[in-house]
Amino acid sequence: MKLVSKNILASLNAIFEQGKKVTEVSELFTHNREAMILNTALKYHLRIFAFLDKHSPKKLQGEEKLFWLIILADVHFSHKLSKEEIVSDLNNFYISEHKLNLEAAQSLFNLSLQFNGLLPKVSKEEQESDAYFGLLYNLPPGLIKMWRKNINPRIFMPLLRKVNNDALPQVKLNIKDGKLENILTKPYAYKKGPVTNTFTYTGIDLENDAAFLNNEIYLHNFALEQALKYLPLKKGDECLIIDENRSNSVVDLSLTFSKQLKIDLALPSLQDELYFEQIDKYYDLSNVFLYKADHNLLITFIRSKKDAVIIFPKSSSFDKIRKEADFFVHFDMSKLDQIIAHQEATLNEAASHVIKGGHLLYLVDTFSNKESHALISEFLESNPNFTLVKEKQFLPFDKYDTIFYYALLKRKEDEDA
């Protein structure tokens, strides 16, 4: 079966059927347009699948359904294939045995052209429903329902619109080797960020940008940068970082303090450990001691209490909706309670490693209240020896352009008072 879209179909099959991520299938592409069509198909897959489930004369499954995902995503949204290529793929795909015959396939294709953006034709009242908002903004209806219930009505609609748009990469200048003038000479690719030495990348391909390849810059969330600035650290202090998100916070703190912070870094998996080793090879972070351990095993490795403990546990990661086209292919709402329980356990374990008068910084890339303010409030009620210094919820409406929450806590000097 000879298809123009064969590489995209193979990629979608790996993502939907084998659970792989977009980053793991990029080697299948021979043209940039294939990656563009794939990302578009993933972004609109909920809407396209809903259209197919309602209008296909027979139930589509497996490869056949994924093939239609490609065709409709391109015809209605990405527009990278020519009309001749689409007709050729439809003919070639249905030469082999599939549930639809070619005539029925052509009828389904022609029917799709009658729908603007493949959205169903509904009443004004139905346009306010969770189901319709889910199709309009490419979000699961259950998530829409949860957000509508828990988010301030004033920001509900702006948030839906914002998360439906892709986020631009945020980077920071490597003060070890990066030269600010090299970045400033590329205003078409780098826009100054809200924090010193930070930038938004507005170019075409960051991973192949010379400054990125030469390690003059590294990925760094603006809000994370702002949170780290509030830690009252000084050279010689001891820190523990529990990072389950590859945040580059260890790089930032090491370079800021000229590698004169003593940092214990706890990573949860071998893959994270290998990722750090690549970073360490370049930055030579001799001040960092690496441990591959979950939060509940830290007591085995960490012998002394720390001036500061930073924790960045796994979360619902709603900030990644705008960054990962396949986010909702892998997202499982049923695991939210499990995620929150893990965050709570990590927070309590981290607190036990803070010295009196020391600080605890809690970070999550989400705006779920249960994972942020509510969790911190419950922790403070159960741990009166800690006080809240500062907390902030970032939403993608301001100069930070991110979904992020942090809470800076301090352990009391005199816990008996």
Domains and CATH numbers, the chain: 6-118 (no CATH), 126-163 (no CATH), 166-220 (3.30.70.1170), 222-411 (3.40.50.150)
Would you state the pLDDT for residue 361?
98
Would you state the pLDDT for residue 275?
84
Tokens of 215: 């390690």
Would you state the pLDDT for residue 224?
94
Residue 411 · residue 354 · CB < 8 Å? yes
Residue 310: φ, ψ to 5°:
-115, 130
Residue 276 · residue 289 · CB < 8 Å? no
Angle at CA of residue 136, ends 130 and 137, nearest 5°: 85
pLDDT mean by block of 10 residues, the chain; 417 residues: 88 95 85 92 96 94 95 97 94 77 90 95 94 95 92 92 92 83 85 92 89 89 93 94 91 89 88 84 88 73 90 95 94 92 95 96 95 97 97 93 97 78
| pTM summary value | 0.91
Q: How far apart are CA 160 and CA 153, in angstroms?
A: 11
Would you state the pLDDT for residue 271?
79
The one-character DSSP state at 195 is S
Would you state the pLDDT for residue 18?
94
Angle at CA of residue 360, ends 327 and 250, nearest 5°: 60
Residue 367 · residue 147 · CB < 8 Å? no
Would you state the pLDDT for residue 215?
85
Buried-exposed string 334-353: b where 16+ CB fall within 10 A, e elsewhere = eebeebbebbbebbebbbeb
Residue 223: φ, ψ to 5°:
-65, -35
Residue 9 · residue 16 · CB < 8 Å? no
Residue 140 · residue 331 · CB < 8 Å? yes
Would you state the pLDDT for residue 67?
96
Would you state the pLDDT for residue 301?
75
Q: Where are the beta strands (DSSP E) in 175-261?
A: 190-192, 198-201, 217-219, 238-243
Residue 89 · residue 63 · CB < 8 Å? no
Q: In what order do the strands lie in the sheet with 217-219?
A: 190-192, 198-201, 170-173, 217-219
- Of 254, 245, 252, 243, which Cα lies nearest the Cα of 220? 252
Q: How far apart are CA 361 and CA 228, in angstroms?
A: 8
